[in-house]
Chains A and B, each alone.
Chain A
Amino acid sequence: DSGVTQTPKHLITATGQRVTLRCSPRSGDLSVYWYQQSLDQGLQFLIQYYNGEERAKGNILERFSAQQFPDLHSELNLSSLELGDSALYFCASSVGTGGLSYTFGSGTRLTVV
């Protein structure tokens, strides 16, 4: 157990729907990172939050949004889902803002049908 908790582990939903993925960082970690892993794109950085504020943005679609709450857990919201959004979504956490000590969660596998 890495200490980073992601729920749900699996999610199957239809195109056009909206889903929310949840991540609880490791105790003491203030940063949360979201990554998307699809077959053809590898691991793509989506967004980072540090202590409740957006810190860095990667290849995140406008249909996707995220936030980090006062208790430091984070949610990734995916809306108007398309077949191509099917992927493994990872959350990682670290103590500071630097990506030097990532701890990854076990991921949420999203299947859009």
Chain B
Amino acid sequence: AQKVTQAQTEISVVEKEDVTLDCVYETRDTTYYLFWYKQPPSGELVFLIRRNSFDEQNEISGRYSWNFQKSTSSFNFTITASQVVDSAVYFCALSEYHHSGGYQKVTFGIGTKLQVIP
């Protein structure tokens, strides 16, 4: 079974605070990919990052950082010094090869709505 859990449905922080969005996944495969997408109020889905299961190096991109820990099946996303423009819904997703179908199956979490208050 494939499952992505984003336990935090809504988070509010004050501007300049750091915030971490949690993502826990379940998979039986050893090869898989994890993603984060951002959906701002305008509605479009914006790709943020993709990691494969063999690369546990943490990644930093400006104020964004991602912590991938296979031991806890987590792929958490931290925004440092949050800004109002970070207000959006953030989705974590898992891509796993569907052996019987011969395709990559992508499952999205329910999303975490982040509100950054000025």
Contacts and interface: CB of A to CB of B under 8 A. Distances in A.
Q: Give the secondary structure class of A's interface.
A: strand
A106 B45 CA distance: 7
A43 B108 contact: yes
A100 B95 contact: yes
Contacts of A100: 33, 50, 95, 104
Interface of A: 2, 35, 42-43, 45, 48, 55-56, 88, 90, 92, 97-107, 109
22 contacts: A35-B108, A42-B109, A42-B111, A43-B91, A43-B108, A43-B111, A45-B106, A48-B103, A55-B103, A56-B101, A88-B43, A92-B45, A97-B103, A98-B103, A99-B95, A99-B103, A99-B105, A102-B47, A103-B47, A104-B37, A106-B43, A107-B43
Interface of B: 33, 35, 37, 42-47, 50, 91, 95, 98, 101-111
B22 to A, nearest CB: 16
Q: Give the secondary structure class of B's interface.
A: strand
Contacts, number: 55
A89 B45 CA distance: 11
Given A42-B110, A43-B91, A56-B98, A99 B43 contact: no
